[in-house]
């Protein structure tokens, strides 16, 4: 077999001449390719860079919210009544959660929920966000963070705390989970209390550190504090006494209001039954409304002093003017009968107030035109909305005098046919304590002296105060209102509750409004006990003891020296020891 060698170098294929255009064509093609690339690069980098810049920014720029805290609510001495504390909310991305049984068990325990419930919450894997628990306490949140479970996150939130709890519940109110005021002062002063969160746009590095601020910052506006006129100590004692009285008398509810008689500042305002503002489960058992402001009732005999004051002012009577009272305890007036609990033949004006005679006050009222009576009532604030920025404060009812029938003219004088809230009643009494001037009631700490509206002469205000003192003395309707060391004065009221179209035979409301000390009143205390079922129902029996104890505590706390003699029970007096210098 002969070897056949192939000479590649002299291949005939090589002999064919390549046309020049082919190499040129390849060069052109490659050049065109580069040109397209360069063009694209220029397009991206120069002409249409906005999209990519935005994409880049999305990856490292963040808008951070700068949270603002809600202002605090303070009492007159600067004690905290409500404040916001950090309470992180726990949330999860179900898909990402690492389901290690032991860890989940621990998490469930920290969240204070059964494991099954936690699992149910994490069940739906399609969801990208689920709240596990809103507003847990900070230490718990720290422990949860320490568990370091994948897919569990925390969001900074603030929670309202009320150290006084049920004692100030109706007054302070509460906020919702979004930190908006819902009731009470929280709602009334929401504008002031609420802060405005700010924001800033920052650049974050890979580790999550903020490295630069871009654009403009909006600084957060912190909520401002609100200082109330309430004294938390007085508030507590008033609430405690009220609670005790409502329970003892098996009453449905009760309210108490303590006003500073000289400045009109509200020192305490409490209702019972109450609720715990931090615990939402307690809301359904007790009414959330502030009865002392939102419920109006017929004030009964507590309005009699205004009729007496009007009679003094119009010159119709003096405190010692004698009035003929019906000896059988009944008075017929246009077909209706007005009756007293006791029978008197003659009573002076002072005694009419002292013994709370319906007939006596009617006889006095009938000597004056209905218009005068209406003007007096309306000037002291009945039928007017109190100037308190409180949600749901009622105006009560006082019909225009032109619509009064003669019998209504009579019943108005002893407090039937008109209605007012307990705060309105207490406010009206400032006309007596402030020497004839009606002063406005305020929930915020007073700055500077207050100016009132003069309705009656100072002399007459003093005379009425002495009548009120008689009512709490022997032979009066409320000897139980007396308190050790301080002279007091006040008026009882016992009104039948309205039921349907008429008055209930068995349901009453016992009221007592009074002041102390009588010569220079410092405080007004108004107490209302609703529907007492413990056998006693007169204002002098159910409400006056609360008044007495509240006055005692309040004047002691205010540092008022007793104005009547007390038999000292001090056994041993420690004299200042002589110490050699």
Minimum CB–partner distance for residue 156 and other proteins (Å): 9
| Selected catalytic residue, list 301, 326, 350, 356 | 301
Alpha-carbon distance of 403 to 286, in angstroms, equals: 38
User: In angstroms, what is the minimal distance from the CB of 54 to other proteins?
Assistant: 22
Single residue of 157, 164, 351, 408 touching other proteins by CB under 8 A: 164
| Residue number, 305 or 514, with CB nearest to other proteins | 514
Q: Which of 61, 86, 218, 558 binds other proteins (CB under 8 A)?
A: 86
Inter-residue contact 355 to 344 (CB < 8 Å): yes
Of 59 and 120, CB closest to other proteins: 59
Closest to other proteins by CB, 84 or 263: 84
Number of residues assigned to the chain: 581
Work out how close the CB of 182 gets to other proteins at its nearest, in angstroms, rounded to a whole number: 20
- Cβ atoms 521, 554 nearer than 8 A: no
How crowded is residue 474: how many other Cβ atoms within 10 Å of its Cβ?
A: 8
Binding residue for other proteins (CB under 8 A) from 80, 113, 450, 558?
80
DSSP-based three-state secondary structure for 521: coil
Shortest distance, position 258 Cβ to other proteins, whole Å: 15
Lay out the site mask for other proteins across 130-159 (x = CB under 8 A, - = otherwise): --------x---------------------
| Contacts of residue 133, Cβ cutoff 8 Å, sequence gap at least 6 | 89, 90, 111, 112, 113
For other proteins, the binding residue among 167, 188, 323, 471 (CB under 8 A) is: 167
Q: Decide if 301 is catalytic.
A: yes
Q: Choose the stretch contacting other proteins; rule: CB under 8 A; options: 363-371, 423-431, 449-457, 569-577.
A: 569-577
- Judged by beta carbon, residue 98 or residue 212, the one nearer other proteins is 212
d(CA 31, CA 364): 117
Distant-in-sequence contacts of 243-248, Cβ < 8 A, 24+ apart: 243/272, 245/527, 245/529, 245/542, 245/543, 245/545, 245/546, 246/272, 246/273, 246/529, 248/534
Q: Residue 123 or residue 138: which is nearer to other proteins going by CB?
A: 138
Question: From the CB of residue 416, how many other CB atoms can be counted at a distance below 10 Å?
Answer: 21
Among 441, 442, 445, which residue's Cα sits nearest to residue 79? Answer: 445
CB of 196: closest distance to other proteins in angstroms?
A: 16
Starting at the earlier edge strand, list the strands of the sheet with 502-516: 266-272, 253-260, 523-530, 502-516, 489-499
Residue from 214, 221, 336, 484 that binds other proteins (CB under 8 A)?
Answer: 484
CA distance 239 to 237: 5
The residue count for binding other proteins (CB under 8 A) is 42
Q: How far is the CB of 186 from other proteins (least distance, A)?
A: 16
| Beta-carbon contacts of residue 413 (< 8 Å; ≥ 6 apart) | 303, 304, 307, 361, 362, 364, 365, 373
Out of 35, 36, 85, 336, name the contact with other proteins by CB under 8 A: 85
Pick the closer one to other proteins by CB: 460 or 480. Answer: 480
Q: Is 552 in the site for other proteins (CB under 8 A)?
A: yes
Q: Which listed range, 171-179, 422-430, 499-507, 555-563, lies at the site for other proteins (CB under 8 A)?
A: 555-563
Q: Which residues make beta-bridge pairs with 397? A: 419
The 261-290 contact track toward other proteins, x by CB under 8 A, reads ------------------------------
CB of 210 to other proteins, least distance (A): 4
- Binding residue (CB under 8 A) for other proteins from 153, 236, 283, 503: 236
- Supply the Cα-derived Rg of the chain in whole angstroms: 39
Task: Tell me the C-alpha distance between 18 and 2, whole Å.
Answer: 34
Q: Which candidate, 443, 438, 430, 440, places its Cα nearest to that of 390?
A: 443
Q: Are 457 and 520 in contact (CB under 8 A)?
A: no
- As measured in angstroms, the least distance from the Cβ of 85 to other proteins is 5
How many CA atoms does the CB half-sphere of 464 hold within 13 Å?
A: 31
**3-state DSSP percent of the chain in helix, strand and coil, to 5:** 40, 20, 40
Contact set for other proteins, span 17-76 (CB under 8 A): 69
Smallest distance, other proteins to C-beta of residue 522, A: 15
Binding mask 189-228 for other proteins (x = CB under 8 A): ----------------x---xxxxx---------------
> Cβ of 368: how many Cβ atoms within 10 Å?
18
Which range of residues in 160-168, 396-404, 407-415, 419-427 is near other proteins by CB under 8 A?
160-168
**How far is Cα 427 from Cα 363, in angstroms, rounded to an integer?**
26
> Per-residue x/- mask for other proteins, residues 444 to 483, rule CB under 8 A?
----------------------------------------
Closer Cβ to other proteins, 57 or 499, answer by number: 57
Report residue 304 CA to chain centroid gap: 32
The span from the CA of 468 to the CA of 305, in Å, is 8
Pick the closer one to other proteins by CB: 12 or 559: 559
Q: Are 490 and 432 in contact (CB under 8 A)?
A: no
Mark the segment that binds other proteins (CB under 8 A) among 100-108, 161-169, 356-364, 473-481.
Answer: 161-169
Least distance in angstroms from the C-beta of 284 to other proteins: 24
| Chain contacts with other proteins (rule: CB under 8 A) | 69, 79-80, 83-86, 138, 161, 163-164, 167, 205, 209-213, 232-233, 236-237, 484-486, 552-553, 556, 561-562, 566-570, 573, 575-579, 581
Enumerate the active-site residues.
Answer: 301
């Amino acid at each position: 077999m002969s070897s056949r060698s192939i000479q590649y170098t002299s291949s005939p294929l090589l002999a064919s001449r390549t046309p020049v255009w082919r190499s040129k064509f390849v060069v052109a093609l490659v050049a065109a390719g580069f040109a397209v690339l360069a063009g694209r690069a220029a397009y991206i980098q120069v002409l249409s860079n906005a999209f990519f810049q935005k994409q880049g920014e999305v990856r490292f720029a963040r808008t951070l919210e700068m949270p603002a805290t809600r202002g605090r609510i303070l009492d007159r001495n600067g004690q905290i009544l409500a404040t916001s504390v950090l309470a992180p909310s726990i949330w999860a991305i179900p898909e990402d959660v690492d389901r290690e049984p032991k860890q989940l068990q621990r998490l469930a325990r920290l969240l204070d929920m059964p494991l099954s419930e936690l699992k149910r919450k994490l069940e739906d894997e399609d969801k990208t966000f689920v709240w596990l628990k809103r507003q847990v306490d900070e230490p718990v949140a720290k422990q949860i963070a320490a568990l370091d479970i994948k897919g569990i996150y925390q969001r900074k939130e603030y929670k309202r705390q009320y150290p006084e709890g049920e004692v100030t519940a109706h007054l302070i109110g509460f906020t919702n989970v979004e930190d908006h005021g819902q009731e009470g002062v929280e709602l009334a002063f929401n504008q002031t209390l609420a802060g405005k969160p700010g924001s800033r746009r920052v650049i974050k590095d890979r580790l999550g550190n903020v490295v630069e601020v871009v654009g403009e910052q909006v600084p957060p506006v912190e909520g401002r504090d609100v200082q109330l006129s309430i004294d938390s100590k007085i508030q507590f004692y008033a609430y405690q006494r009220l609670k005790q009285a409502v329970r003892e008398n098996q009453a449905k509810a009760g309210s108490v209001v303590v006003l500073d008689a000289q400045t009109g500042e509200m020192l305490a305002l409490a209702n019972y039954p109450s609720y715990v503002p931090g615990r939402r489960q307690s809301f359904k058992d007790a009414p959330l409304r502030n009865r002392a402001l939102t419920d109006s009732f017929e004030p009964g005999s507590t309005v009699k002093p205004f009729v007496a004051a009007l009679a003094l002012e119009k010159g119709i009577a003096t405190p010692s003017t004698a009035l003929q009272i019906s000896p059988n305890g009944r008075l017929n007036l246009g077909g209706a009968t007005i009756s007293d609990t006791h029978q008197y033949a003659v009573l002076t004006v002072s005694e009419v107030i002292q013994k709370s005679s319906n007939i006596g006050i009617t006889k006095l009222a009938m000597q004056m035109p209905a218009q005068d009576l209406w003007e007096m009532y309306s000037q002291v604030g009945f039928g007017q909305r109190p100037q308190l920025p409180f949600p749901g404060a009622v105006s009560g009812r006082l019909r225009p005098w032109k619509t009064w029938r003669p019998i209504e003219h009579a019943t108005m004088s002893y407090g039937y046919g008109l209605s007012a809230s307990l705060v309105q009643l207490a406010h009206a009494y400032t006309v007596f304590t402030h020497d004839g001037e009606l002063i406005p009631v305020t929930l915020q700490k007073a700055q500077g002296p207050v100016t009132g509206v003069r309705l009656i002469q100072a002399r007459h205000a003093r005379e009425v105060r002495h009548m009120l003192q008689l009512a709490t003395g022997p032979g009066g309707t409320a000897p139980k209102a007396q308190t050790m060391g301080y002279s007091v004065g006040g008026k009882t009221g016992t009104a039948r509750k309205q039921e349907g179209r008429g008055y209930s035979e068995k349901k009453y409301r016992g009221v007592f409004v009074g002041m102390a000390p009588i010569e220079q009143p410092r405080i007004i205390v108004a107490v209302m006990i609703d529907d007492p079922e413990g056998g006693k129902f007169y204002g002098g029996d159910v409400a006056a003891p609360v008044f007495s104890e509240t006055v005692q505590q309040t004047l002691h706390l205010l540092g008022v020296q007793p104005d009547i003699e007390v038999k000292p029970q001090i056994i041993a007096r420690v004299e200042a020891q002589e110490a050699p210098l």
